[in-house]
Structure 1
Amino acid sequence: AIYERFEPKAAEREGRGEKDGTAGSKFNFLADLQSLEDERAALQKAVKKANIVAAVVGTSVGALVARFWGEVAPGVFFGISVYGVVSASLTASKRRNFRLNFKSRIVASIAKSFGLSYDESDGLGTDEFFEIYDCYINEQSSEDMMSGEVQGVRVRFSDFYAAEKVRTKNGTRTDVKFQGVLFVADFHKRLNCEVRVCHKNSRNLRKYGQRANMDDVKFEEFFDVYTTDQVGARYALTPLLMQRLTEVYLRLGSQINAVLREDKIYVAIETWRDNFEPRIDCSLKQDATIALYVDEIGALVGIVSELNLNRKIWSE
Structure 2
Amino acid sequence: MPVITIADVDTLLAGELGQWLQAQASAREEAKRKAAKRMVGGLVLGAPFLLGFLWDGFWGQAVGFVGLAIIAIGFTMGGIIRQNMVSSLKREINSALARSLGVEYSPEAAFGDEFNLAYAYDLLPGYTRKTCEDCWQGEIGGTPFQLYEAHLIERRGSGKNRRDVTVFRGVILKIRFAREFHGVTLVERQRMRLTWFGDSQTKNGMKLDRVKMVDPRFEDTFDVYGSDPVEARYLVHPAYCERLVALEDKFEGKGLKALFHKGDVVVTVKSEDLFESASLNPDRDRELLGRTIEQFRALAEMIISLNERRREGAST
**TM bracket (short chain):** 0.7 to 0.9
**Structure 1 residue 100 displacement after superposition:** 4.3
The residue type equivalent to 1:209 in the other structure is L
Following superposition of structure 1 onto structure 2, how do residues 145-224 of structure 1 map, counting pairs within 5 Å?
145-170=135-160, 172-200=162-190, 207=203, 209-224=208-223
Q: Contact conserved, 1:46 with 1:91, CA < 8 A, in 2?
A: no
Q: Report if aligned partners of 2:243, 2:298 keep a CA contact under 8 Å in 1.
A: no
* 2:37 maps to amino acid: K
Deviation at 1:34, TM superposition (A): 1.4
Q: Deviations over 1:77-124 (max 9, x none)?
A: 7655542222112453x3354144213321111111111111211244
RMSD value, Cα: 3.5
Using a 3 Å threshold, how does the CA distance of structure 1 residues 77 and 270 change in structure 2: closer, same or farther? Answer: farther
Q: Distance in 2 between matches of 1:269 and 1:96?
A: 25
> Could you say what secondary structure the match of 1:189 adopts?
coil
- The alpha-carbon distance between structure 1 residues 276 and 287, as it changes in their structure 2 partners (threshold 3 A), is closer
Partners of 1:58 and 1:301 lie apart in 2 by 50
Show the 5 A alignment for 1:13-52: 15-16=3-4, 22=7, 26=12, 28-52=16-40
Check conservation: 1:218, 1:246, Cα contact below 8 A: no
Q: Which runs of 5+ in 1 are unaligned?
A: 1-11
Q: Once the 2 structures are TM-superposed, how far is the Cα of residue 75 of structure 1 from its aligned partner?
A: 7.9
Describe the superposition over 1:52-89 as per-residue Cα deviations: whole angstroms up to 9, x where unpaired: 22223343333224525479998877655542222112
- Is the Cα–Cα contact under 8 Å of residues 52 and 64 in structure 2 kept in the other structure? no
Q: Look up the equivalent residue of 2:93 and give its one-letter code.
A: I
Q: Summarize the Cα distance change of 1:69–1:232 in structure 2 as closer, same or farther, 3 Å threshold.
A: farther
Distance in 2 between residues matched to 1:297 and 1:120, nearest whole Å? 16
Q: Label 1:128 to 1:295 Cα distance change in 2 as closer, same or farther (>3 A).
A: farther
Cα shift at 1:244: 2.9
Q: SS where residue 29 of structure 1 aligns?
A: helix
Report SS of the residue matched to 1:170.
helix
Instruction: Give the distance between the partners of 2:138 and 2:4, measured in 1 at CA.
Output: 14
Amino acid at match of 1:223: F
Task: Give a deviation string over 1:290-311, Cα, whole Å, max 9, x none.
Answer: 2233333333333223x34243
Which stretch has the larger CA shift, 253-262 or 39-48? Answer: 39-48
How many residue pairs get aligned? The number is 296
3-state SS of 1:120 partner: strand
Asked if 2 retains the 8 angstrom alpha-carbon contact of 1:154 and 1:186, the reply is yes
> Residue in 2 aligned with 1:120?
107
TM-score computed with the length of structure 1 as normaliser: 0.78
Contact map agreement 2:124 2:168 (CA 8 A) in 1: no
2:302 match: 303
1:312 to 1:168, Cα distance in 2 relative to 1, 3 A: same
Residues 105/134 of structure 1: CA separation in 2 closer, same or farther (3 Å cut): closer
SS at match of 2:278: coil
Contact kept in structure 1, 2:7 and 2:97, CA below 8 Å: no
Report the AA paired with residue 247 of structure 2.
V
Q: Could you say which residue in structure 2 is the equivalent of 1:7?
A: none
Q: Which residue of 2 aligns with 1:272?
A: 272
Over 3 Å counting, the alpha-carbon distance change for 1:214 and 1:57 in structure 2 is farther
Return closer, same or farther for 1:286/1:219 CA change in 2, 3 Å cut-off: same
Residue 138 of structure 1 corresponds to: 128
1:102 aligns to what?
89
Distance change (3 Å), C-alpha of 1:283 and 1:77: farther
**Distance change (3 Å), C-alpha of 1:127 and 1:221:** same
Aligned to 1:8: none
Identity %: 18
TM-score, length-normalised on structure 2?
0.78
SS, match of residue 288 in structure 1: helix
SS in 2 for 1:162: strand
Q: Which residue of 1 aligns with 2:282?
A: 283
- Structure 1 residue 267 displacement after superposition: 0.9
Mapped contact 1:153–1:310 kept (Cα < 8 A): no
- The one-letter code matched in structure 2 to 1:294 is I
AA matched with 1:259: L
Which residue of the other structure, out of 35, 40, 48, is the alignment partner of 1:60?
A: 48
State the alpha-carbon separation in 2 of the partners of residues 59 and 227 from structure 1: 61
The 8 Å contact of residues 150 and 172 in structure 2, kept in 1 or not, is answered as yes
Distance of 2:243 and 2:79 partners within structure 1: 44
Distance 2:239 2:177 in 1: 15
Q: 1: distance between equivalents of 2:308 and 2:62?
A: 60
Q: What CA distance in whole angstroms lies between the structure 1 residues aligned with 2:276 and 2:146?
A: 15
Structure 2 match to 1:240: 239
Letter in 2 for 1:238: H
- The amino acid of 2:264's aligned partner reads K
